[in-house]
């Protein structure tokens, strides 16, 4: 786990446009991409209380983000800014094949 | 524990590599779970507290499975069998009793409680065979795999049949016949052979660019009930969406859907369709589809009551929300909007006026919006008889309701089934008139009821002059093939 103290927190919001919501395939892509970064990354469905680890596929699935919901992303750590940008891009571009 | 996880991971990866395609993507979810540090840490913590590895693993997975099973979402429920699959694989490895892979003779009918995807892939299906599940779900991963490979499968059988020497599994009729008579076997084999042939050629036909009938291009579109229906493997071959129902937006929520929720659903479908046309039908509530806080209660005869466009015009505040979402979606793709249950030309004009006002207000607020092409469903006999009085950009014949109103038969009343014949000359006459008007006025006419997906009705529909049909994605291949066969002088097959 990463030291929070060294970095600024970066955040991003993105609407989930995937037709069936955050189901198995998108969840696997999202966690795979998140794991490429050192940063500690959390996501939640906008308005929901709890932030969850973007690198845990079980938790991303349990989040049950529906089609059309907004996903909030926050990250801290050395490559946090790039991580947020990459994840926003993945969700916004509807989890293209080959990504993640 | 670590070793078991690595071993399981390797086994699944091998399976995925040999299966490829869709199967590989399904198994990827299981591999991702094994690589989920949060999940695994919880298990190690539990082992640290002194629990045996297999118990810790099993109880953690069972918790997840219970959570998935309790979800309202059918999709998530279906995923629980992937988790059970993974749970059992690792448990077997931990106990060292993984043993030999299932030895199931090729061509056999496999009967099980449920079958996990990885087990399905371990079975040799090359000689045919079938799958009979006591539980299971048609949206499960194993069902997707079976469908993709053309393995007949029946789910929700309920009880275990006593073992029989011979079994006939009919995936179409959803039946399992044990120890059938020689005659039953003979009939079944004949049916199976013709099914196999037609299926193979239908799949091939699907890939051809367009259907045609005696040189004329036949547009084949699909009906969807919800956005997920686009995931059907054959949907991509459609010429567009002939009917997107929007009632799913009204179901299962305590409140009516807001504009943004609706816009997202419409936009998702338009993005999927690209340049292809998408016809969205405004809320068709009422009749046999009551919706709390929307439809009128206590109507003595709801099928002849305030339903479809009648209801929307009576509830302009609810209708306006849908029209706003549609007006915004109209700038995103090739959108057409149609009103259901229209009787008079004035109703279409009243709907058009509301729509135009909504567009104007959106534009005044600087929001991108436009009025899409407007059409009507032809399902009230009066509309079919006076079709030329409607200034519609297109017509779509709702043959189920049209037949029920023309024949004065409640379509949900089984006692009337023999009378409920969509091929009754009176029904065909109205379809012909509508198609004829369309041809003269240069306005497209399609048919989106069950008739369009019924091969036996196709000759009549072609003879009525229809050149555009909208069917469920699962019927697309068969309908395309039947048109092809009819066109070259053959029967309906």
Residue ranges and CATH numbers for the domains of chain A are 4-92 (3.30.1340.10)
For residue B158, pLDDT beyond 80:
no
d(CA B23, CA B15): 9
Mean pLDDT of B60-72: 85
For residue A6, pLDDT beyond 80:
no
Which pLDDT score is estimated for B162?
67
Question: What are the structure tokens assigned to B285, written together?
Answer: 């509530």
Fold classified for B109-187: Glucose Oxidase; domain 1 (3.50.30)
d(CA B455, CA B478): 8
Mean pLDDT of B103-127: 78
Residues in chain B closer than 8 A to A67 (CB atoms): 227, 264-265, 268
Catalytic residue positions of A, numbered: 23
Is the Cβ of A46 closer than 8 Å to some Cβ of chain B?
no
Long-range pairs for B156-160: beta carbons < 8 A, 24 or more residues apart:
B157/B111, B157/B132, B157/B133, B158/B134, B159/B134, B160/B111, B160/B134
Dihedral angle over CA of B155, B161, B164, B168, nearest 10: -30
Looking only at the bridges linking them, the beta strands covering B130-133 and A40-45 are: unpaired
Q: Which residue numbers of B have CB closer than 8 Å to A's CBs?
A: 25-26, 28-29, 32-33, 35-39, 64, 67, 71, 73, 75-76, 79, 82, 227-228, 230-231, 260-261, 264-265, 267-269, 271-272
d(CA B88, CA B85): 5
Confidence of residue B491 (pLDDT cuts 50, 70, 90): low
pTM (2 d.p.): 0.58
Confidence of residue B329 (pLDDT cuts 50, 70, 90): very high
Question: What are the structure tokens assigned to A87, written together?
Answer: 């994840």
Q: Can you list the alpha helix ranges (DSSP code H) found in B35-156?
A: 37-48, 53-69, 74-95, 117-122, 141-149
Cα separation values, A67 from A59, B60, B80, B123, B324, Å: 17, 28, 20, 35, 19
For residue B398, pLDDT beyond 80:
yes
Which pLDDT score is estimated for B442?
95
For residue B325, give how far its alpha carbon lies from the nearest alpha carbon of chain A (Å).
Answer: 13
Strand order of the β-sheet with A40-45 is A9-15, A70-76, A40-45, A52-53
DSSP B227: G
Of the partner residues A31, A64, A68, the one whose CB lies closest to the CB of residue B32: A31
For residue B64, give how far its alpha carbon lies from the nearest alpha carbon of chain A (Å).
Answer: 8
For residue B85, pLDDT beyond 90:
no
Confidence of residue B103 (pLDDT cuts 50, 70, 90): low
Mean pLDDT of A46-54: 85
DSSP B29: H
Range B2-95 has CATH code 3.40.50.2300:
no
Mean pLDDT of A49-53: 87
Looking only at the bridges linking them, the beta strands covering B175-178 and B211-213 are: unpaired
Confidence of residue B234 (pLDDT cuts 50, 70, 90): confident
d(CA A84, CA A89): 8
CB-based contact B349:B386 (threshold 8 Å): no
Of A41-45, B25-29, B51-55, B317-321, the poorest mean pLDDT is in: B25-29
d(CA B125, CA B115): 14
Confidence of residue A2 (pLDDT cuts 50, 70, 90): very low
Question: What are the structure tokens assigned to A92, written together?
Answer: 């916004």
Confidence of residue B381 (pLDDT cuts 50, 70, 90): very high
d(CA B44, CA B52): 10
Long-range pairs for B485-489: beta carbons < 8 A, 24 or more residues apart:
B486/B213, B486/B458, B486/B459, B486/B462, B487/B212, B487/B213, B487/B214
For domain B200-487, the CATH class is: alpha beta
Residue B467's SS3 state is coil
The continuous run of DSSP H or E covering B217 comes out as strand B216-224
B221 Cβ neighbours under 8 A, 6+ residues apart? B238, B239, B240, B241, B242, B243, B277, B279, B446, B448, B468, B469, B470, B471
For residue B443, pLDDT beyond 90:
yes
For residue B68, pLDDT beyond 90:
no
The alpha-carbon radius of gyration of chain A (Å, integer) is 12
DSSP B345: H
d(CA B386, CA B379): 12
Higher pLDDT, A20 or B45: B45
Confidence of residue B469 (pLDDT cuts 50, 70, 90): very high
Mean pLDDT of B186-199: 80
For residue B493, pLDDT beyond 60:
no
For residue B84, pLDDT beyond 60:
yes
Interface pTM, i.e. ipTM: 0.85
Instruction: Name the average pLDDT for chain B.
Output: 87
Which pLDDT score is estimated for A7?
65
The continuous run of DSSP H or E covering B177 comes out as strand B175-178
Residues in chain B closer than 8 A to A43 (CB atoms): none
- Nearest of B158, B103, B151, B164 to residue B133 by alpha carbon: B158
d(CA B263, CA B324): 8
d(CA A68, CA A82): 24
Confidence of residue B252 (pLDDT cuts 50, 70, 90): low
d(CA B388, CA B434): 9
Of the partner residues A19, A24, A57, the one whose CB lies closest to the CB of residue B227: A19
Q: Which residue has the tokens 């590989």?
A: B24
For residue B201, pLDDT beyond 90:
no
Q: Residue B379 — φ and ψ, nearest 5°? A: -140, -20
Mean pLDDT of B374-392: 98
- pLDDT tens for each residue of B271-311: 999 999 999 999 999 877 778 889 888 888 888 999 999 99
d(CA B51, CA B298): 60
Percent pLDDT > 90 in chain B is: 41
For residue B291, give how far its alpha carbon lies from the nearest alpha carbon of chain A (Å).
Answer: 22
Backbone CA torsion sign across B62, B65, B66, B67: positive
Higher pLDDT, A6 or B302: B302
What are the sequence ranges of the domains in chain B? Answer: 2-95, 109-187, 200-487
For residue B412, pLDDT beyond 60:
yes
d(CA B221, CA B468): 8
Higher pLDDT, B240 or B2: B240
**A interface mutation test: which of B264, B267, B272, B278 has the most A CBs within 10 A?**
B264
Residue B437's SS3 state is helix
Which pLDDT score is estimated for B96?
80
CB-based contact A71:B78 (threshold 8 Å): no
Which pLDDT score is estimated for B315?
95
Of the partner residues B25, B227, B261, the one whose CB lies closest to the CB of residue A20: B227
């Amino acid at each position: 786990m990463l030291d929070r103290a060294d970095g600024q927190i970066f955040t991003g919001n993105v609407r989930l446009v995937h037709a069936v919501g955050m189901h198995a395939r998108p969840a696997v892509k999202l966690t795979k991409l998140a794991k490429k970064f050192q940063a500690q990354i959390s996501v939640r469905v906008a308005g929901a209380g709890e932030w969850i680890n973007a690198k845990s596929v079980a938790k991303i699935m349990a989040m049950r983000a529906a089609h059309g919901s907004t996903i909030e992303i926050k990250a801290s750590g050395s490559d946090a800014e790039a991580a947020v940008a990459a994840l926003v891009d993945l969700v916004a571009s509807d989890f293209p094949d080959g990504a993640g | 524990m670590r070793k078991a996880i690595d071993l399981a991971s390797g086994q699944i990866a091998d399976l995925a590599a040999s299966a490829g395609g869709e199967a590989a993507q399904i198994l990827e979810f299981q591999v991702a779970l094994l690589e989920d540090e949060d999940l695994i840490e919880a298990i190690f913590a539990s082992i640290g507290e002194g629990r045996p590895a297999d118990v810790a693993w099993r109880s953690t997975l069972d918790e997840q499975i219970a959570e998935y099973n309790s979800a309202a979402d059918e999709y998530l429920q279906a995923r629980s069998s992937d988790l059970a699959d993974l749970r059992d694989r690792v448990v077997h490895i931990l106990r060292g009793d993984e043993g030999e892979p299932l030895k199931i003779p090729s061509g056999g009918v496999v009967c099980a409680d449920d079958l996990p995807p990885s087990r399905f892939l371990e079975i040799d299906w090359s000689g045919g065979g079938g799958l009979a599940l006591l539980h299971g779900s048609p949206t499960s991963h194993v069902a997707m795999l079976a469908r993709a490979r053309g393995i007949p499968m029946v789910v929700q059988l309920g009880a275990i049949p006593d073992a029989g020497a011979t079994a006939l599994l009919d995936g179409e009729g959803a039946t399992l016949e044990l120890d059938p008579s020689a005659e039953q076997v003979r009939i079944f084999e004949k049916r199976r052979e013709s099914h196999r042939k037609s299926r193979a050629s239908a799949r091939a036909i699907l890939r051809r660019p367009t259907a045609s009938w005696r040189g004329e291009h036949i547009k084949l579109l699909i009906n969807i009930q919800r956005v997920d229906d686009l995931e059907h493997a054959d949907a991509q071959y459609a010429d567009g969406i002939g009917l997107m129902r929007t009632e799913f937006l009204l179901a299962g929520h305590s409140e009516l859907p807001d504009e943004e929720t609706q816009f997202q659903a419409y936009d998702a479908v338009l993005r999927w369709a690209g340049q292809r046309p998408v016809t969205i039908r405004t809320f068709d509530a009422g009749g046999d589809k009551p919706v709390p806080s929307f439809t009128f209660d206590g109507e003595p005869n709801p099928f002849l009551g305030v339903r479809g466009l009648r209801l929307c015009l009576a509830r302009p505040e609810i209708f306006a929300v849908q029209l706003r979402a549609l007006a915004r979606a109209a700038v995103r793709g090739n959108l057409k909007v149609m009103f259901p249950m229209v009787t008079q030309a004035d109703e279409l004009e009243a709907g058009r006026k509301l729509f135009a006002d909504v567009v104007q207000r959106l534009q005044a607020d600087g929001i991108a919006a436009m009025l899409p092409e407007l059409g009507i469903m032809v399902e009230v006999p009066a509309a079919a008889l006076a079709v030329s009085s409607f200034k519609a950009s297109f017509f779509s014949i709702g043959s189920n309701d049209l037949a029920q109103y023309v024949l004065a038969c409640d379509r949900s009343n089984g006692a009337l089934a023999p009378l409920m014949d969509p091929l009754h000359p009176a029904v065909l006459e109205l379809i012909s008139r509508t198609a004829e008007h369309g041809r003269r006025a240069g306005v497209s006419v399609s048919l989106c009821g069950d008739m369009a997906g019924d091969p036996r009705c196709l000759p009549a529909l072609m003879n009525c002059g229809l050149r555009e049909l909208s069917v469920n994605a699962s019927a697309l291949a068969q309908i395309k093939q039947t048109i092809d066969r009819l066109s070259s002088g053959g029967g309906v097959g």
